[in-house]
Structure 1
Amino acid sequence: MSSPAEVDHYQIRLLGPIQIERNGAPIGRLESRKAVAVFCYLCCQTKPVLRTHLTSLFWADKSETRGRGNLSRVLHSIGSEMPNVIEADRQSVQINPAAHLWIDVVNFEILMAEQKPHLTAAATEIYRGEFLEDLELKECPDFDVWLSGEREQWQQRVAQAFQNLITYHTERGEYDQGLRAVTRLLEVHPWNEDAHRQKMLLHHLRGERT
């Protein structure tokens, strides 16, 4: 009796430097920065994306025919490195719902939605840096606008997560844990005046001079 085919498991990290792993090992390089950008964009969508939208986002300077051809080539390159991860028809594209993917931004939001301190702490551990930190596509202005907006929103989400932890630990007298959280917050928002004041307060509550 033959053994069942091995199922690939993917880990996708978009917060900080982009990391894509299959079964614990990095995948080969995708064909271009646009291929990486298309894949990351699809990972952030909750429903199928029209091909026409993707071509306008990434190939606005090309004719519709060339744009669709470029998109098809990019999707093929993604599928070559990650079989069965992309689901596409003539009209739309999405991440295959049946694929085994762990995506950091998705799991961050799942953990935060529970509104439980230990899960909030787990969410902050996922954070490694700015959303799609090492990706820029200045030649795609509409994508660049989307990317800038997402980066700002993720900064706010992450800052709020750390703020929730700081408040929780301070109210419980757990000043060491509070200091760890506020230190991480200042790594995200070094200009956050409230966080600097909270750090001074926590040092004071620990009986230290700042």
Structure 2
Amino acid sequence: MESRLEPAALRLQLLGPLQVSRGAHPLALPSSRKVRALAAYLAMATHEVSRGHLCELLWDLPNDPRGELRWCLSKLRAVLDEPGHARVQANGDALRLDLTGCEVDVLQVSHTLQSGMASLDAGALRALAALFRGDFLQGLEIPRSAAYSAWLTAQRRRFRAGQVAVLERLALVLPAGSGEAIACIEAWLRLAPFDVRAHERLFEALAEGGRLREGDEHLAATAR
């Protein structure tokens, strides 16, 4: 009897430009920003979302927001649904994205941050840090969508803070003064240039690595 191959795992990456892939193969996404934003919002939702809420989130009083939403959903289904498995699911007026068997970077990061990183070794922390390819939904702003813009800003702030926490923890478990530890702290500083702790840690790491002149230069630059 022939065995039926299981479909490759679906992967959604929201940290950085939105990317969707199945196995090792990236999927072509519709060019519509609202279709992409809809995919991301449903992937982040912890419960079913009403069509009315989505219309208010993504549309600025168009003539037929529900008609546009239906069009967006049809485009999303064409990308995400699998034979015998509808990922985009409707329950009356409510919508949800079935993520069974999916890999979603933001959900992985959120779960790890909530569970705590104390038990993670350097390898696990490196893998976690690598999930941050850029800002949350980088480049996916939508003009004249105030509710969506507010949500996007809040999520970006949240995940930047999460990235800082990961980099700080990774720098702590790496060998003191190593080039990798210093690179982590420098990445932390790029995200939070006014974080006094990051400046102190960089100075200490440079000193521990025998790079006293660079430490003094950083201290002088910070004082200015």
Which TM bucket (shorter chain)?
0.7 to 0.9
Moved over 6 A (4+): none
2:205 to 180, 196, 202: 202
Larger displacement relative to structure 2 (143-152 or 190-199): 190-199
Query: What corresponds to 1:43 in structure 2?
Result: 43
Offset at residue 207 of structure 1 (A)? 2.0
Q: State how far apart, in whole Å, the 2-side matches of 1:97 and 1:19 are.
A: 15
- Per the alignment, in what secondary structure is the counterpart of residue 117 of structure 1? coil
- Per the alignment, in what secondary structure is the counterpart of residue 144 of structure 2? coil
Q: State how far apart, in whole Å, the 2-side matches of 1:75 and 1:189 are.
A: 37
Query: What corresponds to 2:188 in structure 1?
Result: 185
Query: Any conservation in 1 of the 2:176–2:209 contact (CA below 8 Å)?
Result: no
Offset at residue 197 of structure 1 (A)? 2.5
Q: State how far apart, in whole Å, the 2-side matches of 1:121 and 1:72 are.
A: 40
Change (3 A) 1:73 1:179: same
2:23 matches 1:23? yes
- Per the alignment, in what secondary structure is the counterpart of residue 6 of structure 2? coil
Q: Which amino acid aligns with 1:104?
A: D
Q: State how far apart, in whole Å, the 1-side matches of 2:7 and 2:168 are.
A: 39
Offset at residue 58 of structure 1 (A)? 1.1
Q: State how far apart, in whole Å, the 1-side matches of 2:65 and 2:169 are.
A: 45
Normalised by the size of structure 1, how large is the TM-score? 0.87
Cα RMSD for the two superposed structures: 2.0
2:83 matches 1:80? no
In the alignment, structure 2 segments of 5+ residues that lack a partner are 215-224
Q: How many residues align?
A: 204
Change (3 A) 1:117 1:3: closer
Normalised by the size of structure 2, how large is the TM-score? 0.82
Q: State how far apart, in whole Å, the 2-side matches of 1:51 and 1:204 are.
A: 57
Q: State how far apart, in whole Å, the 1-side matches of 2:5 and 2:207 are.
A: 59
Q: Deviations over 1:155-182 (max 9, x none)?
A: 111112212233344xxx5331432321
1:92 to 94, 98, 106: 94
Q: Which amino acid aligns with 1:198?
A: R
Identical pairs, percent: 23
Query: What corresponds to 1:61 in structure 2?
Result: 61
Query: What corresponds to 1:138 in structure 2?
Result: 143
- Per the alignment, in what secondary structure is the counterpart of residue 20 of structure 2? strand
